[in-house]
Amino acid sequence: CENACPTDYDPGKGVIVSRNDSTLQVGNICVRTCPPGFQESSDSRFCLSECPVQVPGDDRRRGELPVNGICRPCERAADCRACRLSAAIFTDAEADRLRADGCPVWQASELQPMLDVDPQRLSNASLQVLGQLRYLYGNFVVKRVKGSLDFLTNLTFVSGNLGLMMTNTPYLGLASLQSAKAVTLFRVSGLCQAWYPAERINKLRERFEISEINVSFDNTSAECAKAACHPQCTGGCWGPGRRLCVACLRYRVNDSCYADCKEAHRFAWNATACGAACHAECKIGFGCSGPGPADCVSCRRFNESGVCVSECSRGHRPDSNGRCYSVMVAVGICLGVGLLLLLTASLPLAVLYYRRRITRYEAVDLDEYLRDASNPSDMVKLLIVNDDDVSKQRVIGTGAFGTVFKGMLRSHGRELPVAVKVLRGRSPKLGQELLKEAGVLARVRHPCCIRLVALCLTQEPQLITALMPRGCLLDFV
């Protein structure tokens, strides 16, 4: 007799390994395959009733979890954090204790290796804690459920027997179950046919024993009449929703089935798998092109220069569409637009004012004006006007004494086209000379002489004569 199964030392790996032809050790005996309820150790030497669990505070050795009967190291320490149950019957007090630890692996009490659950005696909060359970070392009995078995949807592994008893439920919800020693359904009623994946259950029968005793379906309830698998399920389902599919039609993300990656808040990786999660600031359901905050199709809260942010940076404010804008730039734009609006609004007013000013004067023909003896056009009634009454438009000539402008004279409510000669120099003598010249000019009335119309004695004296629209006679000689 040997007290260990034959092994060899592998000098390459520096470890003891089983011989190829050797067997696995269970207690004092050697077997070729582990008996039900046991897992093959990761070094293929032993059959273990429990895979090594993660020891809190010791990260040198990763805990292991049973996968298809073999203990495999966990990718993340949190996945194989284990808690030991203090009693066989699950109570609210036990749930409170486990809630704080957040363990996905539960080890039943060694003396009574049983997790006995009566949901009717548990609070909803305790049922949520039960829903965290993924791996149970021990037996699991659930009884007297009336309604949903949603707390079983994460259950992946039971080292012992799983029993559902005296239960009335429309669906079993065992979407994650991979392994158990045996499953017994006893007096389970009210099941909906559409939510009972017979094909999948038959597949599971190849791995472990499934007994159905007094299992009945409800063909009359309104719930079962409407029962159907989620459109993204294929191969049936264990209940309603994308979480309870047997398999997914397109993408599986976090144990749920999705039509595309954006629905799953992931970026599209390839035709069969989604990439990592979109950034937390991306809007749910709109997808992203990568994991960063600049890769979101749409932002959950605010968008600052194409990057999704939880709040706009200093000096920026969000608009009604959640886009952050620079307050300085906005103020500049507002002032510009305001000014433009002001100008646009004042333009018609200015035009109106100008027109009213213009229409105060009646445009008259100069010849008629001069022919009218009542008009002040001789020296006796020489028209003396203000600067405001004369508007100069453009230069039409220059002489020895000044510059001549084409212009308009407003007088007695009328507007006359005139030539305005602005004299150079500002001496009082000039004013007197001007008056003298004006006196002469005002008396001259001849078709070949230009009539003096008015005099403007401002700082720059101006002689205002009738405008000859065709210009200087000399140009035609």
Ligand X SMILES: Nc1ncnc2c1ncn2[C@@H]1O[C@H](COP(=O)(O)OP(=O)(O)OP(=O)(O)O)[C@@H](O)[C@H]1O
Residues whose CB is less than 8 angstroms from the CB of residue 44 and which lie 6 or more positions away in sequence, other chains included: 17, 18, 24
Q: Least CB distance from residue 344 to ligand X, whole Å?
A: 39
Q: Nearer Cβ to ligand X, position 26 or 366?
A: 366
- Among 91, 128, 178, 465, indicate the residue that binds ligand X (CB under 6 A): 465
Q: Least CB distance from residue 348 to ligand X, whole Å?
A: 35
Chain position whose Cβ is nearest to ligand X:
399
Residue 449 interacts with ligand X (CB under 6 A): yes or no: no
Q: Least CB distance from residue 472 to ligand X, whole Å?
A: 3
Piece in contact with ligand X (CB under 6 A), picked from 257-265, 336-344, 431-439, 467-475: 467-475
Q: Nearer Cβ to ligand X, position 381 or 424?
A: 424
Q: Nearer Cβ to ligand X, position 333 or 468?
A: 468
Query: Residue 14, exposed/middle/buried by CB under 10 A (0-12, 13-18, 19+)?
Result: exposed
Tell me how far apart the alpha carbons of residues 179 and 164 are, in angstroms, rounded to a whole number. 15
Residue 117 interacts with ligand X (CB under 6 A): yes or no: no
Tell me the sheet residues that pair with 302: 309
Residue 471 interacts with ligand X (CB under 6 A): yes or no: yes
- Among 419, 422, 442, 453, indicate the residue that binds ligand X (CB under 6 A): 419
Q: Least CB distance from residue 418 to ligand X, whole Å?
A: 8
- How crowded is residue 327: how many other Cβ atoms within 10 Å of its Cβ? 13
Distance between first and last Cα of the chain: 148
Q: Least CB distance from residue 454 to ligand X, whole Å?
A: 12
Residue 468 interacts with ligand X (CB under 6 A): yes or no: yes
Structure tokens at 453: 């119309």
- Among 53, 183, 385, 467, indicate the residue that binds ligand X (CB under 6 A): 467
| 415 close to 362: Cβ distance less than 8 angstroms | yes
Q: Least CB distance from residue 331 to ligand X, whole Å?
A: 54
Tell me how far apart the alpha carbons of residues 466 and 476 are, in angstroms, rounded to a whole number. 19
Q: Nearer Cβ to ligand X, position 350 or 468?
A: 468
Tell me how far apart the alpha carbons of residues 190 and 183 are, in angstroms, rounded to a whole number. 19
Q: Least CB distance from residue 420 to ligand X, whole Å?
A: 9
Piece in contact with ligand X (CB under 6 A), picked from 116-124, 148-156, 380-388, 463-471: 463-471
Q: Least CB distance from residue 339 to ligand X, whole Å?
A: 42
| 201 close to 57: Cβ distance less than 8 angstroms | no
Number of residues that bind ligand X (CB under 6 A): 16
Q: Nearer Cβ to ligand X, position 410 or 421?
A: 421
Q: Nearer Cβ to ligand X, position 125 or 449?
A: 449
Beta strands of 316-386 (E only): which ranges? 316-318, 324-326, 362-363, 383-384
- Among 15, 342, 350, 472, indicate the residue that binds ligand X (CB under 6 A): 472
Q: Least CB distance from residue 470 to ligand X, whole Å?
A: 8
Piece in contact with ligand X (CB under 6 A), picked from 11-19, 72-80, 172-180, 459-467: 459-467
Q: Nearer Cβ to ligand X, position 121 or 424?
A: 424
Q: Which helix (H) or strand (E) holds 73?
A: strand 70-73
Residue 198 interacts with ligand X (CB under 6 A): yes or no: no
Tell me how far apart the alpha carbons of residues 189 and 202 are, in angstroms, rounded to a whole number. 19
Residue 67 interacts with ligand X (CB under 6 A): yes or no: no
| Footprint (CB under 6 A) of ligand X, residues 369-408 | 396-401, 404
3-state secondary structure of 326: strand
Tell me how far apart the alpha carbons of residues 216 and 369 are, in angstroms, rounded to a whole number. 118
Q: Least CB distance from residue 450 to ligand X, whole Å?
A: 5
Residue 450 interacts with ligand X (CB under 6 A): yes or no: yes
Q: Least CB distance from residue 403 to ligand X, whole Å?
A: 8
Q: Nearer Cβ to ligand X, position 62 or 421?
A: 421
Residue 309 interacts with ligand X (CB under 6 A): yes or no: no
| 122 close to 95: Cβ distance less than 8 angstroms | yes
Q: Nearer Cβ to ligand X, position 177 or 466?
A: 466
Tell me the sheet residues that pair with 417: 408
Piece in contact with ligand X (CB under 6 A), picked from 42-50, 264-272, 316-324, 461-469: 461-469
Q: Nearer Cβ to ligand X, position 328 or 440?
A: 440
| 243 close to 210: Cβ distance less than 8 angstroms | no
Query: Is 262 annotated as contributing to ligand binding?
Result: no
Structure tokens at 445: 């009335």
**CA-angle at 275, arms to 273 and 279, nearest 5°:** 145
Long-range contacts of 150-156, Cβ-Cβ distance < 8 Å, separation of 24 or more: 150/239, 151/119, 151/127, 152/177, 153/238, 153/239, 153/243, 153/244, 154/104
Tell me how far apart the alpha carbons of residues 234 and 245 are, in angstroms, rounded to a whole number. 7
| 408 close to 456: Cβ distance less than 8 angstroms | no
Q: Nearer Cβ to ligand X, position 6 or 397?
A: 397
Closest-CA residue to 111 (of 139, 91, 132, 83): 139
Chain-centroid distance, C-alpha 420: 71
Structure tokens at 471: 């210009």
Binding residues: 421
Binding residues for ATP: 421
Sites of contact with ligand X (CB under 6 A): 396-401, 404, 419, 421, 450, 465-468, 471-472
